[in-house]
């Protein structure tokens, strides 16, 4: 009788785990989720999420992975009224544990957005940065205009958005 009970518990645990993973996977929305024909690496790019407002316009982020080795955050913002951040400088996130994660743009950071009033910058993530950003909510975001830093608080309802999109590129 005890063996039967253990088997039932094991089966219930497996079903619960499968359902949890299915529900989690369904919450991910992708712009791209393909396997590269040459490298056979899976390429995933999430739909953009709005993290905050910057210059009264949405500040978007999306996550990208190329295989399991390369992970990126892509930031898109609008350049209305001559608003331009310093795209050669780092950005940083203050986490709920009060740690600051600083990420630097890749050498060829800009990507065409197809829009003249928008800019998209690509930030490679180290394994450590990826794990911390995936694990802790973000409480503020810092960027630079020229050499001046600006830090904006992140609304509580948006603090887990980066965690969510990074979870989609595992």
CB distance 81 to 55 below 8 Å? yes
Domains annotated on the chain, with CATH: 30-167 (2.60.40)
CB distance 169 to 71 below 8 Å? yes
- C-alpha 153/C-alpha 3 separation (Å) is 54
The number of helix segments (H) and strand segments (E) in the chain equals 3, 11
pLDDT of residue 155 exceeding 90, the answer is yes
Per-residue confidence band for 21, with pLDDT thresholds at 50, 70 and 90:
very low
Whether pTM > 0.75 for this model: the answer is yes
From its phi and psi, is residue 37 left (phi > 0), alpha (psi between -120 and 50) or beta?
alpha
- C-alpha 147/C-alpha 45 separation (Å) is 31
pLDDT value for 7 = 57
């Amino acid at each position: 009788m005890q063996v039967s009970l253990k088997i039932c518990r094991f089966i219930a645990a497996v079903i619960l785990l499968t359902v949890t993973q299915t529900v989690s996977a369904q919450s991910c929305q992708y712009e791209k989720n393909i396997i590269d024909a040459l490298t056979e690496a899976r390429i995933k790019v999430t739909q953009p999420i709005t993290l905050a407002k910057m210059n009264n316009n949405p500040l978007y982020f999306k996550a990208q992975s190329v295989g399991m080795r390369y992970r990126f955050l892509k930031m898109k913002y609008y350049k209305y009224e001559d608003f331009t951040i310093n795209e050669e400088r780092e950005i940083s996130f203050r986490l709920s544990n009060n740690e600051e994660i600083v990420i630097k743009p890749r050498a060829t950071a800009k990507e065409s957005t197809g829009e003249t009033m928008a800019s998209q910058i690509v930030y490679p993530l180290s394994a450590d940065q990826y794990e911390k950003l995936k694990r802790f909510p973000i409480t503020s975001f810092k960027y630079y205009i020229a050499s001046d830093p600006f830090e904006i608080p992140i609304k509580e309802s948006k603090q887990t958005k980066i965690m969510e999109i990074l979870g989609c590129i595992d």
